Amino acid sequence: MAEADIDDLPRNEANHTALTPLWFLDRAALVHPNRLSVVHGSRRFTWAETYRRCRRFASALHSRSIGHGKTVAVIAPNIPAIYEAHFGIPMAGAVLNTINIRLNAATIAFLLGHSSASVVIVDQEFFTLAEEALKIIADEKKAAFKPPILIVVGDETCDPSSLKYAIGKGAIEYEKFLGSGDPDFAWKPPKDEWHSIALGYTSGTTSSPKGVVLHHRGAYLMALSCALIWNMTEGAIYLWTLPMFHCNGWCYAWTLAALCGTSICLRQVTPKAVYSAIAHQGVSYFCAAPVVLNSIVNAPPSDTILPLPRVVNVNTAGAAPPPSLLADMTKLGFRVTHTYGLSETFGPSVLCAWKPEWDQLPLDERTRLHSRQGVRYVGLEGLDVVNLKTMEPVPADGATLGEIVMRGNLVMKGYLKNPKANAETFAGGWYHSGDIGVKHPDGYIEVKDRAKDIIISGGENISSLEVESLMYMHPAILEVSVVARPDEQWGESPCAFVTLKDGVDSSNEQALAESIIKFCRAKMPAYWVPKSVVFGPLPKTATGKIKKNELREKAKAMGPVKKSRL
């Protein structure tokens, strides 16, 4: 027998097919045709209906020559149409480009131009925004402008006038568009699982947004990983608090189909709406950035339904949750899974895998362990913290800072039309997250800061995140963000921007600032203590991340900290 005989059995049609989450929809419609797939107010769809609607969707695109290599943009909150887009668009072979509804027209114009979207599907509430964005492109490109097919999604919870306006402007009504498609359309999986399924733009807080391109293979694997790491069970009822336009809802749009589960849509995320869905719709799972959890923890009692009627699992990522927030959520009865990732890794791909033996520890210790980002998902093959210069792994000492890097099947294909960024981001055979962290002796990693958020004071690195975590213990602080402010003596020093809790007396800002600084002195090394404290609301991105770049600009505009102040 020759050396490799046992590998002489090639792939064929029977034993190899492209991995794609589209198979999950086909299966859900077969296995649980009558189970609820998507619920939005009084609208309820079953899996049989969702499958037929998605096939109509794909067929309607196909008949308009939208297929492989084409991009379809969707501008919508968490309504059924954006869920359907996660299947209907790739079933036609095209790429789904979800767009953040909170961007301004100029940015959306940039994105639609960059992605060359052939179709734009827009929720009626955001029609004028899309219209404005397209006008900007038209004005810029002049005769070269080929307007995309424009589809407007009506929603009974919105004012009918905006739908009427959109149709008057020539947009095709979404239901009519679906009606033009064949509900039995014979969709095909992609020829290659490496084909693109989705394109999403980074929030671009510091530079032009970059287009993250995701592949069918990774979407399939992430969808399964998402279920496994969270112990999600078949038929799970999931609340859409996390926008689907944000990294495809961390791929849960596809996970729900794999589990034949039910999606509860939510146009507006408020603590009251979240609690109501838990009370009335059987919700057991939702994902949310820490900012949303913060609002849940601080909701007025009349908006809550405590104690919770069942275990409610929360997956939080998007920013490092302050330890106090994890503790508060746990006290309310939520089971919080702390995860970490980026759009470039299909959403969170690292989790603080909980160990049953930790249950016996005091709350403080549990919270300390819980606030670490942790270990790779089942579907991610490599995760490490490496020296920024040598790329050697840092020692697992919980102290040495390095860059967090990932590798494996949950890493994006790359950035669209951006070879320079791709070369940098994939240097040395790893995806470079741009996040700074440490590795603990037990192998769990912990994010210390975004590389660009690190404050360098007198040559020492200060993690803005760690300063914030300690400041969150102050009873008057609702939200805090710490950034570098130029400093005559030390180069940079920490500057804190603070939002106070309701009811805190803020008549004497200076006294309050001094009390906070005093509080900090008792909690942290002297060089970490913010030299200035500024009160007011914090600027946020569409997904609730604090815009540190704006705060840095503000701190810079305040001028350098004078030597004399010391």
Closest by CA to 366, choosing from 330, 341, 316, 332, is 330
Asked whether 350 and 379 are in contact (CB, 8 A), the reply is no
Q: Which of residues 345-384 bind a copy of itself (CB under 8 A)?
A: 353, 355-356, 375-376, 378, 381-382
Specify the pairing of strand 285-288 against strand 312-316.
parallel
Token pair of 21 as six digits: 């989450």
**384 versus 468: smaller Cβ distance to a copy of itself:** 384
Q: Which of 231, 281, 461, 508 binds a copy of itself (CB under 8 A)?
A: 231
Q: With respect to a copy of itself, which residue has the nearer C-beta, 8 or 502?
A: 8
Q: How far is the CB of 395 from a copy of itself (least distance, A)?
A: 16
As a whole number of angstroms, the distance between CA 395 and CA 365 comes to: 23
Residue type, 337: T
For residues 462 and 484, what is the distance between their CA atoms, to the nearest angstrom?
9
- Does 536 contact a copy of itself by CB under 8 A? no
Interface residue with a copy of itself among 41, 43, 44, 69 (CB under 8 A) is 69
Residue choice 145, 158, 204, 426 for contact with a copy of itself (CB under 8 A): 426
Task: Report the residue number, 183 or 382, with the smaller CB distance to a copy of itself.
Answer: 382
**Could you report how far apart the first and last alpha carbons of the chain are, in Å?**
80
CB-based contact 265:38 (threshold 8 Å): yes
Q: Pattern of binders to a copy of itself over 73-102, x per CB under 8 A?
A: ----------------------x-------
Interaction of residue 201 with a copy of itself, rule CB under 8 A: no
* Position 199 contacts a copy of itself (CB under 8 A): yes
Among 90, 341, 408, 544, binds a copy of itself (CB under 8 A): 408
Q: Across-strand partners of 492?
A: 486
Helix (H, G, I), strand (E, B) or coil at 125: helix
HEC string of 319-362? Answer: CCCCHHHHHHHHHHCEEEEEEEEEHHHCEEEEECCCCHHHHHCC
Binding-site size, a copy of itself (CB under 8 A) = 70
C-alpha span between 283 and 241 (Å, rounded): 11
| DSSP codes joined into one string, 43-104 | EEEEHHHHHHHHHHHHHHHHTTT--TT-EEEEE-SBSHHHHHHHHHHHHTT-EEEEE-TTS-
Binding positions for a copy of itself, 8-47, rule CB under 8 A: 9, 11-17, 19, 23-24, 27, 30-32
Binding test (CB under 8 A) with a copy of itself, winner from 224, 239, 287, 495 = 224
Smallest separation (angstroms) from a copy of itself to the CB of 315: 14
259: tokens are: 């589990």
**Do the bridges between strand 491-500 and strand 477-487 make them parallel or antiparallel, or are there none, so unpaired?**
antiparallel
Taking the least distance from each CB to a copy of itself, the nearer of 387 and 409 is: 409
Q: How far is the CB of 233 from a copy of itself (least distance, A)?
A: 5
Find the helix or strand (DSSP H, E) in which 211 lies.
strand 211-215
Binding site for a copy of itself (CB under 8 A): 1-7, 9, 11-17, 19, 23-24, 27, 30-32, 68-71, 95, 116, 189, 194-196, 199, 213, 218, 221, 224, 227-229, 231, 233-235, 258-259, 353, 355-356, 375-376, 378, 381-382, 406-409, 411-414, 416-417, 422, 426, 429-431, 443
